[in-house]
Structure 1
Amino acid sequence: MSTAYLVVTVLAAALAAFSAGSVFLHAEWTVKPLADYGVPRAWWPWLGAAKAAGAAGLLAGLAVPVIGRLAAVGLILYFLGAVITVLRARWFSHVPFPLVYAAPAVASLVLGLAA
């Protein structure tokens, strides 16, 4: 396991956990855009749970690599869905936000597969 993989994976897990926590705690900077995009409030706990599971999976992947790879794929798909949601809502200036969270998950997957 390389140092780069370890650092990027922990960073990706921390960002996903932070994002999950902001949904669970109903942080205004997170839930207001969700409402603006038209995401039903009933989905918010499930979205937070998906991010939390992704974060836990990335960390578990440090011991069991296949779990980390699957978690990275899940987070990448999640944030791709977030980009699509933002685009459908026509909030084009918000597209970079989910990409910031997706980038370390992509890097973790690439570095994990290269190992």
Structure 2
Amino acid sequence: MHVAYFAVTLAAVAATGFSGIGALVHFAPILPGMARARVPESWLTFPIGTLKTAGAVGLLAGLLGVPVIGTAAAAGLVLFFACAVHTHLLARDYSAQFGLANGFLVLVAAALVLGLAVS
């Protein structure tokens, strides 16, 4: 179980970290998807990029020996990505960005569940 937790959480750290930094620097490929979901570009830095990056750092802290921070970060990211999926649904945007939001949601939810199981 510990190996699965480590592998899934490390994948979640990498994915959310990359996504968060991409939002912070306004990575060009993500801009059309955000526009389709009617998310203002000004939100990419704060709250979107900041929250994703902070969540990735929190997950990493959980892996490095502070499990309560990792659990809190995973729970926060689950809420964040549930809201992202809801935003895409409200905008009727079923593009690749919607699929990514669902994938991130499943990944961070798995990290949360596995983290709670090994605690």
Scaled to the shorter chain, the TM-score interval is over 0.9
TM-score using structure 2 length: 0.89
Aligned pair count?
Answer: 115
Q: Match for residue 82 of structure 1?
A: 84
Partner of 1:97: 100
The CA RMSD over aligned residues, in Å, is: 1.4
CA distance in 2 between counterparts of 1:52 and 1:32 reads 21
The one-letter code matched in structure 2 to 1:96 is: G
Q: Which runs of 5+ in 2 are unaligned?
A: none
Distance in 1 between residues matched to 2:82 and 2:100, nearest whole Å: 11
- In the TM superposition, what is the alpha-carbon distance from 1:103 to its structure 2 partner? 1.6
Amino acid at match of 1:60: A
Normalised TM-score (structure 1)? 0.92
Identity of aligned residues (%): 43
2:52 is matched with 51
Whole-angstrom CA distance in 1 between matches of 2:43 and 2:27? 15
1:108 matches 2:108: no
Q: Is the 8 A contact 2:36 2:93 kept in 1?
A: no
Give 1:35 shift: 1.9
Q: Answer whether contact 2:25 2:45 (CA < 8 A) is retained.
A: no
Q: CA deviation at 1:96?
A: 1.8
Assess if the C-alpha contact under 8 Å between 2:19 and 2:52 holds in 1.
yes
